[in-house]
């Protein structure tokens, strides 16, 4: 059974870090309802939900993907680039230990945000961003190369994280909103999408994806490729540069 690591949003969500977009007021109550609906998508498909302990003092704590990334059956506990987020790591580590998930760790002074990591087959694209530095990327390479992963660095200047600009469909096609992608040639197969909020997809299985409800044209594009597309509203998280990928960590058996 696949498992899902999630953390409920903080009532201080509106205070979260932003870098590339104007600050808009986020509604914490609405965010919680949207988060519950997001988690329910996975529950209804048989995923086991593993809650990470609340971190209400950390406005960005709901974006759990930034603190840990799965590589097969091994997790890498990251070291976020924003000082305000370092306090999220301990509770994520505890959740991994409770769930029996083995993990490796990025060490200081290197920084790595999980939102900068995109896996396509055995290739790991890592965004060199404001949150992920060369030391963090080098550490990730050292951890993953012996395990058969190929780590490729790509530049990120137009968005917060690599996965704010691109993700991948089940067949490995990288998708993104072209004006926000630094180098489309970095990917063997790139498909431009018509809407900014259509860039992020979570692969549910080989034939279905989850994405924001705020990109109907992109949803139609994916359906035209034969995919089942599940949409869910995440407007309050998008105000904080969040997307469907960063709200969970998927542990696949």
- What positions carry a catalytic annotation? 161, 246
Cβ neighbour number for residue 224 with a 10 Å cutoff: 9
C-alpha angle 89/147/48, rounded to 5°?
50
Which pair of structure tokens corresponds to residue 249?
């960590």
Q: Is 158 exposed, middle or buried (0-12, 13-18, 19+ CB in 10 A)?
A: middle
How does DSSP assign 22-73, residue by residue? Answer: ------HHHHHHHHHHHHHHHHHTTPEEEEPPP-TT-TTTT-GGGTEEEETT
Q: What is the bridge-based pairing of β-strands 3-6 and 249-251?
A: antiparallel
Percentages (nearest 5) of helix, strand, coil residues in the chain: 35, 25, 40
> Is residue 192 classed as helix, strand or coil in its secondary structure?
strand
Helix (H) or strand (E) holding 130: none
54 phi, psi to nearest 5 deg: -55, 150
């Amino acid at each position: 059974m696949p498992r899902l690591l999630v953390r409920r949003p903080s009532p201080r969500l509106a205070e979260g870090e932003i870098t590339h977009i104007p600050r808009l007021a986020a509604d914490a109550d609405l965010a919680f309802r949207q988060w519950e609906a997001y988690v329910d998508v996975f529950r209804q498909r048989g995923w086991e939900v593993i809650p990470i302990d609340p971190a209400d003092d950390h406005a960005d704590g709901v974006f759990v993907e930034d603190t840990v990334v799965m590589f097969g059956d091994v997790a890498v506990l990251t070291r976020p680039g924003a000082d305000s987020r370092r306090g999220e790591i301990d509770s994520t580590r505890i959740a991994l230990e409770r769930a029996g998930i083995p993990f490796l760790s990025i060490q200081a002074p290197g920084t790595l945000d999980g939102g900068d990591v995109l896996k396509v087959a055995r290739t790991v694209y890592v965004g060199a961003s404001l949150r992920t530095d060369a030391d963090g990327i080098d550490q990730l390479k050292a951890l993953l190369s012996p395990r058969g992963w190929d780590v490729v660095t790509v530049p990120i200047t137009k968005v917060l994280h690599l996965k704010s600009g691109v993700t991948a469909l089940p067949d490995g096609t990288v998708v993104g909103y072209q004006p926000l992608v630094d180098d489309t040639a970095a990917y063997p197969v790139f498909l431009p999408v018509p809407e900014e909020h259509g860039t992020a997809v979570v692969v549910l299985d080989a034939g279905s994806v989850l994405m924001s409800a705020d990109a109907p044209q992109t949803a139609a594009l994916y359906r035209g490729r034969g995919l089942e597309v599940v949409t869910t509203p995440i407007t309050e998280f998008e105000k904080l540069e969040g997307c469907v990928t960063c709200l969970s960590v998927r542990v696949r058996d």
